[in-house]
């Protein structure tokens, strides 16, 4: 039997982390956990309560927010107070809300605990901002995926258009730049490359090329 392994994939918004992580998990027979979806779920809760401007109140209340991850037919579903919010968390407002609540240390402590519990005893690929630095510091393989802000904004723009939305490109780019700034400059676990993470710049790669590179590195690290 193959030994248990964990793969940590970090990087800024739109670098291709979730697409690559999901496909790599499938290729390697591991579970995939999208931790951004968990921050989005908590973000949506406090967005709905109109409390995003109030980090003290977020810190006080977060332990009482019911966040559950469910896997149905291989897909990750997010439940917020038992409501399936898998679709509702994919709006630009929920992205910004996730980035805002992600700056609150109590939110991070709450979600990191959930993430580490989920990873216990299984092979897993996890993506996020602090997986290699905080959540899985002993991961079998750590990767830092990035790309220029323009390339990442183009990818997000194409995703939104595919869903039937008609955003202005400059607003998608502005959101990416603002979220990069928030995620990299917050005091609590800012987005940074772990010292021992492989850097993969996907600006001039197709996602298939990025996936092949990740699976190759993973097979070497796992010894498969
Ligand atoms: O990966 P994503 O774009 O769905 O993440 C949404 C936001 O959640 C991101 O801007 C920052 C926050 N986040 C975080 O702080 N830590 C993580 N491990 C994952 C996401």
Q: What is the DSSP string of 2-67?
A: PPP-EEEEE-STTSSHHHHHHHHHHHHT-EEEEHHHHHHHHHHHHHHTT-TT-HHHHHHHGGGS-E
Alpha-carbon span 133 to 130, nearest angstrom: 5
Alpha-carbon span 38 to 91, nearest angstrom: 14
The ligand 1 site (C-beta within 6 Å) comprises 13, 35-36, 39-40, 95, 98-99, 102, 128-130, 179, 183
b or e along 13-50 (b: 16 or more beta carbons within 10 Å of the residue's beta carbon)?
bbbbbbbbbbbbbeebebbbbbbbbbbbbbbbbbbeee
Contact by Cβ (8 Å): 47, 181: no
Identify which of 10, 85, 128 to mutate to test ligand 1's pocket (most ligand atoms within 8 A of the CB).
Answer: 128
Identify which of 183, 189, 194 to mutate to test ligand 1's pocket (most ligand atoms within 8 A of the CB).
Answer: 183
Note the pLDDT of residue 73.
83
Note the pLDDT of residue 140.
97
Identify which of 91, 98, 101, 118 to mutate to test ligand 1's pocket (most ligand atoms within 8 A of the CB).
Answer: 98
Task: Name the band, by pLDDT with cuts 50, 70 and 90, for residue 30.
Answer: very high
Alpha-carbon span 47 to 94, nearest angstrom: 8
Distance 13 CA to ligand 1 centre (A): 8
pTM of the model: 0.94
Alpha-carbon span 147 to 12, nearest angstrom: 8
212 contact partners, CB below 8 Å, separation of at least 6: none
Note the pLDDT of residue 222.
93
Q: What is the DSSP letter of 79?
A: E
Distance 2 CA to ligand 1 centre (A): 30
Contact by Cβ (8 Å): 102, 9: no
Distance 39 CA to ligand 1 centre (A): 6
Report pLDDT digits (tens) over 135-186: 999 999 999 999 999 999 999 999 899 989 999 999 999 999 999 999 999 9
Task: Name the band, by pLDDT with cuts 50, 70 and 90, for residue 224.
Answer: low
Q: What's the average model confidence in pLDDT over 40-56?
A: 98
Ligand 1 atom closest to the CA of 14, numbered from 1: 3
């Amino acid at each position: 039997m193959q030994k248990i392994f964990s793969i940590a994939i970090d990087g800024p918004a739109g670098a291709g982390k979730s697409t690559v992580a999901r496909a790599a998990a499938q290729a390697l027979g591991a579970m995939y956990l999208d931790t951004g979806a968990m921050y989005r779920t908590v973000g949506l809760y406090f967005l709905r309560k109109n409390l995003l401007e109030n980090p003290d109140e977020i810190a006080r209340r977060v332990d009482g927010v019911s966040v559950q991850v469910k896997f149905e037919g291989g897909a990750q579903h997010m439940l917020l107070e038992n409501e399936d919010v898998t679709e509702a968390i994919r709006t630009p407002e929920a992205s910004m809300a996730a980035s805002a609540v992600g700056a609150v240390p109590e939110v991070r402590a709450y979600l990191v605990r959930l993430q580490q519990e989920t990873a216990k005893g299984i092979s897993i690929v996890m993506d996020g901002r602090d997986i290699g630095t905080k959540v899985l510091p002993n991961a079998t393989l750590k990767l830092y995926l990035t790309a220029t802000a323009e390339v990442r904004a183009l990818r997000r723009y194409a995703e939104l258009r595919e869903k039937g939305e008609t955003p202005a490109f400059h607003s998608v780019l502005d959101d990416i730049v603002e979220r990069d700034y928030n995620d990299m400059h917050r005091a609590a676990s800012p987005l940074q490359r772990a010292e021992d993470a492989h850097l993969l710049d996907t600006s001039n790669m197709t996602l298939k090329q990025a996936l092949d590179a990740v699976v190759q590195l993973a097979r070497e690290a796992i010894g498969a």
